[in-house]
Structure 1
C-alpha cells in the first residue's frame, strides 16, 4: 500500500510534496496498515476494513496518526 500511496502522491502533487513527508507517510502506512492488509489488493480494502485495521492504532493512543493514515489511504489509487 505504501508504494501505491507514493505513486498516487507523485501523480496528484506532481512531485511537489517534500521528500521527507512522503517518506513519513510511507513509513506510517507500512507500520500501521501493511501488517494487517499488506498483501490485499487495494480494491479489497473497504472502509469498514480500514476502520477495523485502524482501531488498534487508536487504542495505542495515537488518534492523530490513525487520522492521518486514514487520509493517506483514501488517496491511494484503487487500481493498485
Structure 2
C-alpha cells in the first residue's frame, strides 16, 4: 500500500489533510506514529493518469491543510 509521511510527525496536520482529501473525493486513512501517516486506498487496478490525479488532489489537500493551521491544530489561527 503506497503511503506518504508528512515532514514531521504531525497528527493534527495529517487529520486535516485527510479531511481535505475527502472533500476532494480521495479516500485515505491515517496511521503510524502520532497518526501522521496518510495511506492511500486506490482501486486494485489504477492507471498512470489516475495516479497523477491522486497525487494532485493530495498535494491540494495538504496545501489547504497548511493554509489553515487553526483547523489542523484544533485552535484558532493566530
Superposition TM-score tier, normalisation by shorter sequence: 0.3 to 0.5
Structure with the bigger RCO (C-alpha within 8 Å, sep 6+) is 1
TM-score between the two structures when normalised by the length of structure 2: 0.34
For normalisation by structure 1, the TM-score amounts to 0.33
Q: Which has the higher helix share?
A: 1
Normalized per residue, the structure richer in strand is 2
